[in-house]
Amino acid sequence: MATAMTYTSLLDDLRNYLERGATLATDPSVYVQLPSLVGLAERRLARELKIQGLVTVVNSTMTQGQATYPKPDRWRETVSMRVGTGTGYNTTQEIFPRSYEYMRQYWPNQTATGTPRFYADYDYQHWFFAPTPSDDFPYELIYYELPPLLGDDVQTNWFTEYAPSALLYASLMEAAPFLKNEEIIPIWQGFYDRAVAALNGEDIRQIVDRGIIRRED
């Protein structure tokens, strides 16, 4: 039975592949750098993969008269938002993305309120809504998330469980420039590209399967 990847086993694999950083005493610079290289690899995967495994759904509530809201921790990219309106807030409608400049022209008086129709990135940590909410509307947010980063206290995450090959090869790519071994990058890149393509292929098949209506013969 295959052993599942953990943060500790990933570091061991990297040391074996690189033949460097075995111990702090014998190769301190590489030993100390490996955790940072893993973190860079995780961020690369979160940036380049747009698949269901990295999608998170959050339900929250707006505050009447408040136009700006913080984004969740480890937010990477917004997929969609919907706001609840009507009796019991049971009718949902999509909130559409717009530029911040458009929002200011569309709703110049921030003290005026209504049902939010649009949102914009106010900065990397906040959204801006227009109209400013006239009620404590419930809303649903779907977004791509950076999973909790690996460390001694976080031994597994989505990458170790579902994308171990991609994580390994991404880490090796990050290690090559540090070790001044750029000529090997195309090799790790090839393995990484195949691992990412497999993940994307699995995701596409799941989306297609979900849309198929199955009937019994």
Determine the structural domain holding residue 100 and report its residue range: 52-145
Question: What 3-state class would DSSP assign to 24?
Answer: coil
Phi, psi (5° rounding) for residue 135? -155, 170
Mark whether 176 and 131 lie in a shared domain: no
Handedness of CA 108, 111, 114, 118 (dihedral sign): positive
β 68-70/126-130 pair status: antiparallel
Mark whether 56 and 139 lie in a shared domain: yes
Instruction: For residue 38, give the amino acid letter.
Output: V
Mark whether 13 and 94 lie in a shared domain: no
Tell me whether residue 173 is in a domain.
yes
Residues 169 and 188 sit within 8 Å (Cβ to Cβ)? yes
Q: What is the pLDDT of residues 121-154, one digit of tens each?
A: 999 999 999 999 999 999 999 999 999 999 999 9
How far apart CA 133 and CA 125 sit, in angstroms, is: 19
Tell me whether residue 92 is in a domain.
yes
* C-alpha distance from residue 195 to each of 75, 169, 170, 188 (Å): 24, 9, 10, 11
Residues 6+ apart with CB under 8 A from 182: 176
Question: What 3-state class would DSSP assign to 151?
Answer: strand
Mark whether 135 and 67 lie in a shared domain: yes
Query: Euclidean distance between the first and final Cα of the chain, in Å?
Result: 37
Tell me whether residue 2 is in a domain.
no
Mark whether 172 and 203 lie in a shared domain: yes
Domain boundary among 94, 117, 145: 145
Tokens at residue 189, please?
């890149």
Residues 6+ apart with CB under 8 A from 162: 53, 199
Mark whether 140 and 60 lie in a shared domain: yes
Tell me whether residue 113 is in a domain.
yes
Percent over 70 (pLDDT), the chain: 91
Mark whether 129 and 57 lie in a shared domain: yes
Instruction: For residue 55, give the amino acid letter.
Output: V
Domain boundary among 145, 171, 190: 145
Mark whether 205 and 172 lie in a shared domain: yes
Mark whether 77 and 133 lie in a shared domain: yes
Mark whether 11 and 78 lie in a shared domain: no
- CA angle at 177 for the pair 174 and 180, rounded to the nearest 5°: 145
Burial of 148 (0-12, 13-18, 19+ CB in 10 A): middle
Residues 130 and 117 sit within 8 Å (Cβ to Cβ)? yes
Tell me whether residue 119 is in a domain.
yes
Mark whether 85 and 138 lie in a shared domain: yes
Instruction: For residue 131, give the amino acid letter.
Output: P
pTM of the model: 0.83
Tokens at residue 190, please?
């090839």
> With bands split at pLDDT 50, 70 and 90, how would you rate the model's confidence at 209?
very low
Tell me whether residue 150 is in a domain.
no
Domain boundary among 145, 175, 196: 145
Tell me whether residue 1 is in a domain.
no
Mark whether 175 and 138 lie in a shared domain: no
> With bands split at pLDDT 50, 70 and 90, how would you rate the model's confidence at 214?
very low
Q: What is the pLDDT of residues 36-69, one digit of tens each?
A: 999 999 999 999 998 989 999 999 999 999 999 9
How many domains would you assign to the chain? 2
Tell me whether residue 107 is in a domain.
yes
